[in-house]
Structure 1
């Protein structure tokens, strides 16, 4: 945003909130003194974006030196760039599903967005440093429901739909975040929504790709009891991996601020009951219902024939992101509108044979009815100075509260030729010219595109569904790679200065032998994540050997893979901490020398 628009937006904000702003000259001086820096892509938030940006930066350096090293490096990085492109396409495609549902949502239908919030750490008004450590977080599940209000007679404009947003928080203290507890939470939420709006009949569900949602038992539960639940689930859609931020995150932030204010008043939140009291304090959060789930037994029902009850050579539930339920069975799609397949009713019956509608071991507490009425959310015109935070959305708003309402619904507008300026129109014409030139040129390189069987075709034609996820082949590390990493690991254990996975990854690409040949081929190059995992496995093996040699130490047998994964995560966290310490020590050494 340029300086003048920023100042205009700030003045409008001050006007709406009865604040006297400084003069315009002073505002320019403030912005000049506090210039905003350009943020880079944050690593860890989205692996596709971080890997793609890193690959593009590396390719820029390789272009200046296109030798043997440059050609090999470019082939290694091309896969990441194409994966980033496919990830961006899948993200937009899955988000279009939500927009279409909101566009066609009727008054007797509801769109439900579900997500597990980050565990709440118990907190007291006054606590010592020793009390701060070793706490066990409290799990709480957030559901946001968008209900369309009935339109007035004669009003057929779908762009003027009004939505009511309801939030339901389920606090779970002693239960794993599995598909079973999620199914019971959905059942409780359906009852609550039915009591609030008796005219509701059908529901659409959307969530991220967490294992508790993207599970075949949960799909079987929703299909089996579709006519017995309070609401009939018509469709279940998943967002693209690492792109599931939605309305639940903003509602979770509101709840956290409400609980923090409750603690600052001299209260404590150490369990689920106190957490419910905090959320319901001060006339409760607007339009939010809170319930505590009491668990008397942690058993989770198993499928009739185990997890592979539906045996199909090409069917994996994680490979599909859109599910529709009807009497014929469950229709699955690899992406929104792509790759339809039917799981027959006979197979769904066998899958959900042992599933029950209600679990007597779970008890849902009563929710306090908020005293405030639902806030009406209305689609707004774009005619002001507050642009949407989404970089691809073209809507702007006159007031701040209008922008917040737009972000809550998430109904973005990504393109509109009617609003194009002269510059935008010029870009469209130039893009069309370039597209025509590209189609009329012969196919020189086929990198990232599926080769056509007919070699006579010279045009580049993407096949339908080209951006779908490809299954990665499990490739074992070669003995040469294992020996190389093991030597580095042992050297770090003896010297006390453990190697950084980032440094080792770069060394593997540049390692040469005495004759000047590369030690590792491009197929043997490893990323820093792979190297960190390998070092973590070596740490676990070393700890087991040390425990077996010391008879005074009791060797704990790992009974399931989940505990093994937890140990591995602890070791990886320790390695990451050592990496940061090594970097700091190198910086200090460089400054002192």
Structure 2
């Protein structure tokens, strides 16, 4: 691994059950676990291998699906590249659970503008391949939380988990975020797909395409171009064609036919746009004409 490369490992930790320092038997029943996502970044500095852990703790009950997972991964990549502008290449690694190994996650990562051109590969491990860096980090944090509770503190929500980790992490370098996710439509209409994705384990990102292998470097590869050529949702096509910046889209004189350009705010306040923004472009006109 070169000094301008970063290797990132992802995994969802087992949900943490809220705990009080003193609780009766009734407090134990009906508990709902708190979701935590862990990412560990490795980088070589001279002869030393450095690591930095990112922990995302979710305030509310969430689906650990491709949308949540890809948004979390993109946040980690954005932080790493923003704070380390000298990094040129990023390699990703995770297990092959469905929220990671799916077309939605791979396409969302590829279309993430801050990391565009930096992501080189995404490799998936075999099922039941043992414990990794994220499991070690999770074990360290949970041990620290247990000590924090035994000192007379309650840990029953995401913010208290963050406080417990920060006060007991000792020499572990980490960034911890408490994340709030807005309620959204969980329907998977027009979901993108990559044929036979479950049989592939090694993905290499190239300009305009994706090259995959069943086993790393063994045999002929398969070149998937179509899924990564362009965004297929209505909002994605607007972004590709006109550009969306801070929620605003600007139409030039050649579009408006006026002497000056027009800037519009795209948001959920516009009920029609909110309904069609995530639809496949081929279904938008059918919806508008109905």
Distance 1:198 1:278, change over 3 A: same
Output the CA distance in 2 between the equivalents of 1:347 and 1:231.
16
Select the residue among 204, 221, 244 that pairs with 2:108. Answer: 221
Select the residue among 112, 126, 141 that pairs with 1:240. Answer: 126
Output the CA distance in 2 between the equivalents of 1:338 and 1:267.
53
Output the CA distance in 1 between the equivalents of 2:210 and 2:98.
19
Distance 1:283 1:238, change over 3 A: closer
Where 2:204 maps in the other structure, the secondary structure is strand
Output the CA distance in 2 between the equivalents of 1:347 and 1:230.
16
Select the residue among 153, 172, 185 that pairs with 1:299. Answer: 185
Distance 1:306 1:257, change over 3 A: closer
Select the residue among 64, 79, 82 that pairs with 1:192. Answer: 79
* Relative contact order, higher structure (CA 8 A, sep 6+): 2
1:271 maps to 2:157: yes
* Per-residue deviation, 1:283: 7.0
Output the CA distance in 2 between the equivalents of 1:287 and 1:215.
30
Output the CA distance in 2 between the equivalents of 1:286 and 1:247.
12
Distance 1:143 1:347, change over 3 A: closer
Select the residue among 7, 19, 28 that pairs with 1:111. Answer: 7
Output the CA distance in 1 between the equivalents of 2:54 and 2:116.
16
Select the residue among 114, 133, 141 that pairs with 2:37. Answer: 141
Structure 1, residues 380-432: CA drift from partner, whole Å, max 9, x if none? xxxxxxxxxxxxxxxxxxxxxxxxxxxxxxxxxxxxxxxxxxxxxxxxxxxxx
Structure 1, residues 528-573: CA drift from partner, whole Å, max 9, x if none? xxxxxxxxxxxxxxxxxxxxxxxxxxxxxxxxxxxxxxxxxxxxxx
Between stretches 198-207 and 274-283, larger displacement belongs to 274-283
Unaligned runs of 5+ in 2: 247-290
Distance 1:166 1:122, change over 3 A: same
Match of 2:229 in 1: 349
Where 2:10 maps in the other structure, the secondary structure is strand
Contact 1:268 1:274 (C-alpha < 8 Å) held by counterparts: yes
Where 1:332 maps in the other structure, the secondary structure is strand
Where 1:280 maps in the other structure, the secondary structure is helix
Distance 1:231 1:175, change over 3 A: farther
Where 1:291 maps in the other structure, the secondary structure is strand
Contact 2:9 2:93 (C-alpha < 8 Å) held by counterparts: yes
* Per-residue deviation, 1:191: 2.5
Where 1:141 maps in the other structure, the secondary structure is strand
Distance 1:349 1:302, change over 3 A: farther
Structure 1, residues 194-219: CA drift from partner, whole Å, max 9, x if none? 34433222210000011110111111
Where 1:137 maps in the other structure, the secondary structure is coil
Match of 2:207 in 1: 327
Distance 1:174 1:247, change over 3 A: same
1:130 maps to 2:30: no
Output the CA distance in 2 between the equivalents of 1:230 and 1:327.
10
TM-score between both structures, scaled by the size of structure 2: 0.74
Output the CA distance in 2 between the equivalents of 1:349 and 1:301.
24
Q: How many residues align?
A: 236
Match of 1:440 in 2: none
Distance 1:299 1:247, change over 3 A: same
Structure 1, residues 32-78: CA drift from partner, whole Å, max 9, x if none? xxxxxxxxxxxxxxxxxxxxxxxxxxxxxxxxxxxxxxxxxxxxxxx
Output the CA distance in 2 between the equivalents of 1:216 and 1:162.
35
Distance 1:307 1:328, change over 3 A: closer
Select the residue among 294, 308, 316 that pairs with 2:196. Answer: 316
TM-score between both structures, scaled by the size of structure 1: 0.38
Distance 1:347 1:247, change over 3 A: closer
Output the CA distance in 1 between the equivalents of 2:125 and 2:135.
14
Contact 1:119 1:137 (C-alpha < 8 Å) held by counterparts: yes
**Aligned pairs for 1:351-500 within 5 A:** 352-354=231-233
Structure in which a larger fraction of residues adopt helix: 1
**Aligned pairs for 1:46-57 within 5 A:** none
Distance 1:148 1:301, change over 3 A: farther
Select the residue among 20, 45, 51 that pairs with 1:165. Answer: 51
Contact 1:187 1:230 (C-alpha < 8 Å) held by counterparts: no
Where 1:335 maps in the other structure, the secondary structure is coil
**Aligned pairs for 1:92-111 within 5 A:** 105-111=1-7
Output the CA distance in 2 between the equivalents of 1:275 and 1:329.
41
Structure 1, residues 136-158: CA drift from partner, whole Å, max 9, x if none? 00010110100111x3xxxxxxx
Contact 1:204 1:234 (C-alpha < 8 Å) held by counterparts: yes
Output the CA distance in 2 between the equivalents of 1:219 and 1:230.
12
Output the CA distance in 2 between the equivalents of 1:224 and 1:260.
40
**Aligned pairs for 1:565-576 within 5 A:** none
Where 2:75 maps in the other structure, the secondary structure is helix
Contact 1:190 1:231 (C-alpha < 8 Å) held by counterparts: no
1:177 maps to 2:64: yes
Where 1:281 maps in the other structure, the secondary structure is helix
Output the CA distance in 2 between the equivalents of 1:197 and 1:264.
38
